[in-house]
Structure 1
Amino acid sequence: MIWKGLIKWTVDMEAIIEKFGGGPVGLNTLSAAVSEEKDTIEDVYEPYLLLKGFLQRTSRGRIATEKAYEHLGL
């Protein structure tokens, strides 16, 4: 189960980076882009991404951090 979660967050981060130039991207837009419920993104994936320093939340939306780029090899 943990591997599925790791793969999913990787897909989400790659979407922010590749589809939205690293962000900022709003929750509604991100949810539609990765076909995931907004609540799941906020309650399941974001806490981990924020804790690891891969994601930053701003008033304009979510932004992939430099650490996320490095971790994904981008």
Structure 2
Amino acid sequence: MEMPFPLTKKKDSFTLKLSKELYKHDTVQKALSEDKDWVEETEASDEYYCFRLKTAEIEDVLNWMNSLIYLQKG
């Protein structure tokens, strides 16, 4: 399975693609509910979750990913 580059910078946001094989649906939904003011799920496919992170700061994206990994580990 070939994965496209998972992070794309837009003018005022980032688009992040994550493999559904690596992240549980419940974990993703919990992370989304905690950060619904600035993270939204967009065009998901059978293989990937796709998120729009409404921030221009890469540090925020990295922090959100760290919290998602923490939730995934349980």
Structure label with greater radius of gyration: 2
Between Structure 1 and Structure 2, which shows a larger proportion of strand residues?
A: 2
Could you state the TM-score of these two structures normalised by the residue count of structure 2?
A: 0.40
Between Structure 1 and Structure 2, which shows a larger proportion of helix residues?
A: 1
Could you state the TM-score of these two structures normalised by the residue count of structure 1?
A: 0.40
